[in-house]
A and B are shown apart, each in its own frame.
Chain A
Amino acid sequence: MIRTYSSQEHIEQLNIAVKVENVTVEYKGKPNLFNVNMEVPCGVLLAVLGPNNSGKTTLLKTMAGIEKPTAGNVYIYSKPTHAAKNDLAYVPERNMVNWDFPISLFDLVLMGSYNRLRRVEHPKKKDKVIAWEALERVGLEKLAKKSICDLSRGEKHRALIARALVQDARIYVMDDPMVAADEESINIIVEVLQELRAKKKTVIVSHHEFVTIPRYFDMVALLNVKLLGMGKTEDILTEENFEKTYGMSAGMIKNIRLYMDESHDRNK
């Protein structure tokens, strides 16, 4: 049964970073998302899983205020998305960025400060220091002057994450930040995600690799146009849920379970 809240104050009391309420998003009359309800608690690392065209990107874009829902509401810390531009940093899919645009990596990362600037105002020294620190955090400071078109796939992912770090938001929404990235980039991105969680930031990530989910994420949301399940990783990664979402064989789930158990033992 769907829980509804009578007031926005109630959401704050529950410590909810993002609340998605009966959201439907359609494209040419067909729903990409259908009556999705979810509440993302503060300070969690949430993976959004689902097959291709299940609406993962649409959900993240709707949270970021990029897509306008046909029906329903999205609240960011109890505010509507258009009033929360400084609360949420969005990292788009790598191939959604025009990498041929003639700017340097540093300029791209510095763009993260633009939401704090007024019209005609240019980034100040302080903003540049923050951008430089973000570049250092993702290990790209040596490439600062390089044109963005010359970056590798993994470096492009890291650059977009550095830009999000400059935004210094409370919520980070990342669309496939590790897809087709190299090992070094994945390790750095995972470290950044865990640092963000340690700082009590809320991180919502669409993700494809099932095997790494138990290792990286606290919570999982299973999506296939409708939200099919959301909760703690160990509770959600069940055969039943996966079959509902992917129509997938139980064998793969068993492998994931096996991996989860092994990593659990290692942690012990």
Chain B
Amino acid sequence: MFSMEFELVLVITLSAVTCSIPGAFLVMRKNYYAADTSTRSAMFGISIALIFSAFLSSPLVIIFGSLTAILGMFLIKKIKGITHFRSKGISIIVSSTLLCLGILIATNFSFNKSSEFDLSIIYLGETAFTYFNRVRIAGVDIGSYAFYSILLVMIINIVIVTVFYKEFKIDGVDKNYAASIQMKEETIDLLLVVMTALSVSVSFQTAGIFMTTAFILGPAAAALFYTKRLSTLAFVSVFISSIACLVGFSIAWPNYVSISGSIVSFIGILFILSVLCAPEEGIIKKYFDYLAEQKKLDEYIILDILNTQSIDNSSSSINEILAVSLNWKVLRVSYIVNKLKAEKKLEDINGKVIITDEGKNIVEHFMKTQNCFH
């Protein structure tokens, strides 16, 4: 129907967008382990399905993969309820067990049925393979199975999020309040688990078991650095997924390297760039904010001393006296004193450094706004 490149970009982008929808809610609920658990647990079901089916886009693969992903998350919740282990620890044990069982089944039974794939494809995915399983109606090729299966899951995700948006929001903020207005937490949890499990099972053919986790969590985690609004976060998350897919594919395709690997690497780079450079929440911005706050505090400290303490304030020696008293370097003190003088918060009168009315007002206002002084 379309060129191979276009179809592959479309499939991988749909796959990433599909994963980023439940991913946004998992990240906001701080339920990070759920993505990892579901991808590993899905391996068990996928391996069983591959005993009966010879191709990766089979509905059987999606159904079995989803069921075992749900089983994995259900087991974690139940085990947590009866033991004192934390979810993360249980998740590692349960999902690794299901993953290993899946590998055992796959290597001993599943791969005998077809030579199309091996374990590395299930681990890492192979987007190019999705092109070869085609849907034909009356002999007319209308696209790949992968495209339609991923599109279907994406529509399911969008419908669930639209219908239960309020419920997801309340449950994410305050589970007790949700329960008090008779909103069933189990229903919301189950819906999120179903969305995640379906997305994982349908995306493993493009991204593989291991990289699907990055598809789910990466874009949403990066998006959190740009917005503090739920609706915007979902859109930013989808946008980041799409950009990562386009750039990742353009790098991977001409160079004959793993498409999903390239995309996930790019998601990782975007995440690190967001951590460093996001306009409000990035480390660099926060560091400069911190420096600015620290400089302000330095000014308040000196203004307060000159406002409340009797010290030798002669212009010739004040820098040295303050430096000794505050255990700072003279250079730091003289920089701040000069700045305060330039800003008319301090002034030199008859060889004495004196705080001005403006300086007094500023430091007194500062003292009033500090909680510890209430």
Contact = CB atoms under 8 A, between A and B. Distances in A.
Interface in B64-97: none
B182 interface: yes
Nearest to B162: A120
B30 A98 contact: yes
Given A98-B173, A101-B230, 20 more contacts: A65-B180, A82-B182, A88-B180, A97-B174, A97-B177, A98-B174, A101-B172, A101-B173, A102-B224, A102-B229, A102-B232, A103-B169, A103-B173, A103-B228, A111-B169, A114-B181, A119-B163, A120-B162, A148-B173, A182-B374
24 contacts: A64-B176, A64-B179, A64-B180, A85-B180, A97-B173, A97-B177, A98-B174, A102-B224, A103-B169, A103-B229, A103-B230, A104-B228, A104-B229, A107-B169, A111-B173, A111-B174, A111-B177, A114-B170, A115-B181, A119-B164, A120-B162, A122-B166, A149-B228, A182-B374
Nearest to A91: B177
Contact of A183 (B162, B232, B374): B374
A184 to B, nearest CB: 8
B176 A96 contact: yes
Interface string A98-112: 101111100110010
A43 interface: no
A120 B162 CA distance: 7
A29 B95 CA distance: 29
A183 B368 CA distance: 13
A85 B170 CA distance: 15
A90 interface: yes
A104 B231 CA distance: 11
Interface in B14-73: 28-30
Nearest to A123: B166
A139 B177 CA distance: 22
B133 interface: no
Interface string A140-151: 000000011100
B176 A61 contact: yes
A66 interface: yes
B356 interface: no
Nearest to A147: B228
Nearest to A115: B181
The 7 A-B residue pairs with the shortest CB-CB distance in the complex, in nearest-first order: A90-B180, A147-B228, A115-B181, A66-B179, A64-B180, A92-B176, A102-B228
A129 interface: no
B190 to A, nearest CB: 16
B308 interface: no
A248 interface: no
A160 B111 CA distance: 56
Contact of A65 (B166, B179, B227, B230): B179
Nearest to A100: B30
A250 interface: no
A102 B28 contact: yes
Contacts of B374: 182-183
A20 B149 CA distance: 52
A80 B170 CA distance: 23
A117 interface: yes
Contacts of A182: 371, 374
Q: Which of A82, A90, A147 has the most CB of B within 10 A?
A: A90
A224 to B, nearest CB: 23
Given A65-B179, A102-B227, A114 B166 contact: yes
A226 B227 CA distance: 47
Contacts of A120: 162-163
B198 interface: no
Nearest to B84: A28
B233 interface: yes
Contacts of B224: 102
B166 A117 contact: yes
Interface string B171-197: 011111101111000000000000000
Contacts of A104: 228-229
B164 to A, nearest CB: 8
B182 A65 contact: yes
A104 B130 CA distance: 42
Interface in A61-92: 61, 64-66, 82, 85, 88-90, 92
